[in-house]
Structure 1
Amino acid sequence: MHPTHQIDDAQQPLLSSPPSDDTDDNIKPTRDIEDTVLPETASLGRNLSWTSAYILVISRIIGSGIFATPGSIVKATGSVGLSLLLWVGGALISGCALIVGLEYGCMLPRSGGDKVYLEFTYRHPRFLASTLVTVHAVLLGFTASNCIVFGEYVLFALRIEPSELSHKALALGLLTAITIIHGCFLKTGIWIQNFLGWVKVGLILFMSLTGLYVVLFQVRTAGDAPALQTVSWDGLWKGSNWEWGALSTALFKVSYSYTGLQNLNNVLNEVKDPVRTLRTVASASLLTACLLYLLVNIAYFSVVPLDEVKESGQLVAALFFERVFGLNFGRTVLPLAIAISAAGNVMVVTFTHARVNQEIARQGFLPYSRLLSSSKPFGAPLGGLIVHYIPSFLVIALPPRGDVYNFILDVEGYPGQFAALATSFGLIWLRWKRSDLKRPFKAWLPAVWIRIAICFALIAAPFFPPTDGHADVGFFYATYAIVGIGIILFGILYWYLTFAVIPYWYGYMVDEQVDVLSDGTSITRLVNIRNK
């Protein structure tokens, strides 16, 4: 795919700094696609230890989902039992996706995640995979939902009636502050996100133990009502809604709460001992998240009446704290802790998305690629952060308040199913086509096929209408799917015009040339070469 300066991969690793004057003229920097199988140290250095990597994953998984979505999930499922079953099912589904990411990540230990895997697997049509990844990163690579939850919980805790201006100002203020921290103070940002990650884990454990305490000691909560909702086995499943359209939408929200298991794949250039760390961190994070989610849901159902849970919207955790600790402590201190938790999630998402954007820029698929690829002037991917900041800012600032949060969750998750489908098929294809590749971890193929089947089911599910004809977010039930597919089709059209039609009309072809920036970052430039 890269015709310039081919070298022997087995003998010469990638250069991570510009070649000096006494370097052999035959040794030149290379961006050949086969080099993705070689570990590459980022110009930023390997700053992420096992603990930092674990926090990067677990803090990405535990964001606003467990605090904001259980109400809408139990409302869609209709019963406590089916709701808990979905949380376990979400963990199993996420496990099937996780092993795909583990095999790819251990086989291709480079920053970029799905960008690297899709480009390595699908080399033809040329540039199509890179174009689709770029379109997805620019149009859907935003961090909005947790910023929105941050604003909601801060206003709730301070007992301020939310307005359009105050709500968006808080969300945008958080996004801006985090972008500045990660863009100007690299190691400080890592320390802060590690600290917030442990605070988040501690908060979840505190909530779980509180629910257990209420159950064991039959504590009476606010309103002098019994806290424990005793149900029989039949009562556990009473009101269950087994309609696939409703279940699939709820499953999207559950899956979103497990999103982030492959977060480490995006930054492997900065991880110490990347292959070993990836294998252990990902598995530990999935088990931790599943256990904590089940405990917290049980705590909710033990304290808050089921009808109130269903109607709680995004404030079910705040209602939990209010009923257990009263208005003063429960409604102020702990909701602020949840806001801090959401902020921690925004930090790790911003951290990794910026690296993916930087990798896209290094490949030459963003305007001003040299500038956006560089880690100057603060030794951080400021260009990638800016690419992430702009769509995030627009998604928060432009849409009206209301049902936008749930709609954003759906739009974010749906197109990702196509990427998951492509990587899953690609993994099986590479087992046959590239058996020569070293695979420190091999996915269990039946689980990969299960992942493929689930992807097909989730892609088709939005087009099965619910009984009432509309979704729970006030839009046409398949709106988020139509928007997601539209974005993918836009990416294909953009690729076709940019790399096929226009070059044919003007008599040139698009090729790649390799360059090295002054900070040691190797990049690819897309150049137009006239046909002879």
Structure 2
Amino acid sequence: MDDAERQPLLRASSAEEGFTSPSGKTLTWASSFILVVSRVIGSGIFATPGSIAKSAGSVGLTIVIWVVGTILSACGLTVSLEYGCMLPRSGGEKVYLEYTYPHPRFLTSTLIAVQAVLLGFTASNCIIFAKYTLFAWSDRPTEHQEKALAVALLTVITIVHGCFRQTGIWVQNMLGWLKITVITAMSLTGIWVILVRPDYTYSLSWETLWEGSNWSWSLLSTSLFKVLYSYAGLNNVNNVLDEVHDPVRTLKTVGPAAMLTASALYLIANASYFLVVPLAEIKESGELVGALLFERVYGAHVGRILFPLAIAISAAGNVMVVTFALARVNQEIARQGFLPWPHLFSSSRPFGSPLGGLIVHYIPSLLVITLPPQGDVYNFILDVEGYPGQMFALASAVGLLILRKREPLRLRPFRAWLPAVWLRIVICLALLAAPFVPPPDNHGDVHFFYATYAIVGAGVVVFGILYWYVWTVALPYWGDYTLQEKEEVLDDGIRVTTLKRISRI
């Protein structure tokens, strides 16, 4: 092998250099599976079916949207698996995009940092926790009560993960298994009604399956964003691979297992909704369709109190695993010098956990929960998160093709199916264009201008580009200096990169 052939292997090896977690390899296969499943099965299946059905207009089209979203999510999973097995270190998409797009210098890292800080929040599941908890105990909870309870959950989880790391892992594992139990009960409700209560008046019929279908691509795209959001987190273990036993082997099995589990439960759960709850009620249910299902089948006591509380606990479990993973992404961003005070935000002291990363995650989540008015804010949050997410998904899928051509000799323990990668690319492009196609009534499924979420999401990316240009191009040019990376090792063993100004004179 000559030097030209070796070069891809040499370059790739440097990208694998993560840092050794102070806590060591503490995540087993079971913990990794829960980390993924508990991230995937969050508020999505409990809260989004109502708005998806409202946009689609019919039961048949709603089911088609879920099936298509499931296929697209599986395509995205294959991309994450190839990247994760090729570059097995913590940081997930941040690591992959930085390695694939090293030029212009610092641009990729800046965009990821801006997206992680401004849009890396867990507000939606905190809101669902508050809504379902208060639904169980109160007919008409106030907006202030919902916001206060959502903030309380976020605060407690941040403290637990920051100060009691092992306790946090244990709790999120327990909540993960409880979540699987709840979604299984929900999924089997429709089957139970068919078998045990043959005299029950079903809401679903073949004659009305496609009645009222709305084929507007603009509205269908927002529905697809919500389905993709419901599967978000299939790559959650990619964010924490430095803490996983046998990361490559674990990654290749955990993701597919979680995908099969979630997709089966989701599709059966949707069938249960449409069998038991009238379509008109589902469309108007907002985020409480799961509660309506249980109340109609099990009565006011069990259905209205116990199961909504179980759903609330499920949402809390989702907040725990998202907080756990994104705090480590923030730590990785700080470790490479793209947050202020990198020594503070990348350190694992004093509790062996990324306390700085947790704080960076806590602040935007708190603002998103407390500042916007309630009502349509949940769906709007999902759409705003989803739009730039599709930009990064597109960059990842295209980047995979670039790396295969640039580094054909690179060791790839897993190879994504090429048609799945191309399908991912085509759908990402379609979803990015869809918000600017006006729906029939010129507004989407929330009471804003139909393309508002796309404008806001794209605005975050544009802000990142402008920020990068100012601090890496304009200011160094005016100040006659260059930015150089300097690496230091903290007391807890974490390597930190600081960006130093070096005068050209």
Normalising by the smaller structure, the TM-score range is over 0.9
What residue identity is the alignment partner of 1:147? Answer: C
**1:213 corresponds to which letter in structure 2?**
W
Instruction: Please tell me the residue identity of whatever aligns with 2:314.
Output: S
In the alignment, does 2:458 pair up with 1:485? yes
> Aligned partners of 1:217 and 1:518: how far apart in 2?
63
Distance apart, 1:170 and its partner CA: 0.2
CA contact (8 A) 1:104 1:427 kept: yes
Residue 474 of structure 1: SS of its match in structure 2? coil
- The match for 1:185 is 164
State the shift of 1:43 in Å: 1.9
Corresponding residue for 2:493? 520
2:375 matched to 1:378? no
Gaps of at least 5 residues in structure 1 are 1-7, 12-31, 221-225
- Work out whether 1:306 is the aligned partner of 2:275: no
SS at structure 1 position matched to 2:234: coil
Contact 1:112 1:267 (8 Å CA) reproduced: yes
Q: Which residue of 2 aligns with 1:283?
A: 256
User: Paired residue for 2:221?
Assistant: 248
Distance 1:524 1:230, change over 3 A: closer
Q: How far off is 1:39 after superposition?
A: 6.2
Identity of counterpart residues, as a percentage? 63
In structure 1, distance between residues paired with 2:9 and 2:204: 64
Aligned twin of 2:22: 43
Which of these residues, 226, 229, 232, is aligned with residue 203 of structure 2?
A: 229
Query: What is the distance in 1 between the residues matched to 2:385 and 2:12?
Result: 28
* Partner SS state of residue 528, structure 1: strand
> Which one-letter code corresponds to 1:165 in the other structure?
H
Residue 120, structure 1, aligned to residue 94, structure 2: no
Say which SS state the counterpart of residue 399 (structure 1) adopts.
Answer: coil
**Partners of 1:89 and 1:290 in 2: CA distance:** 11
Matching of residue 359 in structure 1 with residue 338 in structure 2: no
Match of 2:244 in 1: 271
Q: Distance in 1 between matches of 2:80 and 2:188?
A: 33
- CA distance in 1 between counterparts of 2:70 and 2:204 reads 26
Residues 9 and 192 of structure 1: CA distance in aligned 2, closer, same or farther (over 3 Å)? farther
Residue by residue, what CA displacement relative to the aligned partner does 1:43-99 show, whole Å, maximum 9, x if unpaired? 221111000000100110110010011111111111111111111111100011111
- 8 A contact 1:227–1:304 mirrored in 2: no
Aligned partners of 1:46 and 1:272 also within 8 Å: yes
Deviations 1:240-295 (A, max 9, x none): 22221111111111111011111111110011100010110001111111100011
- Which runs of structure 2 are paired with 1:289-328 in the superposition (5 Å)? 289-328=262-301
Q: 1:472, CA displacement in angstroms?
A: 1.6
The one-letter code sitting in structure 2 at the alignment partner of 1:329 is V
Counterpart for residue 438 of structure 1: 411
Residue in structure 1 matched with residue 395 of structure 2 by the alignment: 422
Instruction: Identify unmatched segments of 5+ residues in structure 2.
Output: 1-6
Residues 9, 241 of structure 1: CA spacing in aligned structure 2 closer, same or farther, 3 A cutoff?
A: closer
Paired residue secondary structure (1:529)? strand
Distance 1:10 1:186, change over 3 A: farther
2:150 is aligned to 171
In structure 2, what is the Cα distance between the partners aligned to 1:39 and 1:401? Answer: 41
Q: In 2 relative to 1, CA 300–363 (structure 1 residues): closer, same or farther, beyond 3 Å?
A: same
* Aligned pairs, number: 499
CA contact (8 A) 1:101 1:262 kept: yes
Name the aligned partner's letter for residue 156 of structure 1.
F
- Matched to 2:312, the amino acid is A
Find the residue that maps to 2:466 and give its secondary structure.
helix
Q: Which residue of 1 aligns with 2:122?
A: 143
Alpha-carbon distance between aligned partners in 2 of 1:264 and 1:219, rounded to the nearest angstrom: 43
Q: Please state whether the residue corresponding to 1:365 is helix, strand or coil.
A: coil
Q: Structure 2 CA distance, aligned partners of 1:35 and 1:157? A: 53
1:427 is paired with a residue whose SS is helix
Provide the C-alpha distance between the structure 1 equivalents of 2:126 and 2:334, rounded to a whole number of angstroms: 26
CA–CA distance in structure 2, aligned partners of residues 362 and 236 of structure 1: 53
**Counterpart of 1:413?**
386
Instruction: State which drifts further: 139-148 or 325-334.
Output: 325-334
CA contact (8 A) 2:133 2:312 kept: yes
Q: Deviations 1:165-217 (Å, cap 9, x if unpaired)?
A: 21111000000000000001111100100000000000111122222110123
State the partner residue of 2:4: none
Q: Within the alignment, does 1:68 sit opposite 2:47 as a pair?
A: yes
The aligned amino acid for 1:463 is: F
Deviation at 1:118, TM superposition (A): 0.8
In 2, are the aligned partners of 1:36 and 1:109 still within 8 Å (CA)?
A: no
Q: Deviations over 1:437-473 (max 9, x none)?
A: 2110011111111111011000000001110111121
SS class of match (1:511): strand
* 1:228 Cα deviation from its structure 2 partner: 2.1
TM-fit CA distance, 1:313: 1.0
Structure 1 distance, partners of 2:261, 2:63, is: 16
State the SS of the aligned residue for 2:487: strand
Q: Which one has the bigger helix percentage?
A: 2
Residue 430 of structure 2 is matched in structure 1 by 457
C-alpha displacement of 1:34: 4.8
Q: Which amino acid aligns with 1:520?
A: G
2:159, 2:433 → 1: CA distance?
Answer: 40
1:517, distance to aligned residue in structure 2 (A): 0.3
Matches within 5 A, 1:62-141: 62-141=41-120
Equivalents in 2 of 1:165, 1:75: separation in Å?
27
Whole-Å separation in 1 of the counterparts to 2:276 and 2:166: 41
Aligned equivalents of 1:9, 1:122: Cα separation in 2: 14
In the other structure, the counterpart of 1:347 is 320
Equivalence for 1:262: 235
Alpha-carbon distance in 2 for matches of 1:522, 1:314: 43
Change (3 A) 1:230 1:178: closer
Task: Report if the CA contact (8 A) 2:332-2:346 is conserved.
Answer: yes
CA contact (8 A) 2:234 2:255 kept: yes
Amino acid at match of 1:387: V
SS at match of 1:45: coil
> Which SS does the other structure have where 2:102 is aligned?
coil
Q: Secondary structure at the match of 2:203?
A: coil
TM superposition score normalised by structure 1: 0.92
CA RMSD of superposed structures (Å)? 1.6
Among 137, 144, 148, which residue is 1:158 paired with? 137
1:40–1:362 CA distance, 2 compared to 1 (3 A): closer
Cα shift at 1:9: 12
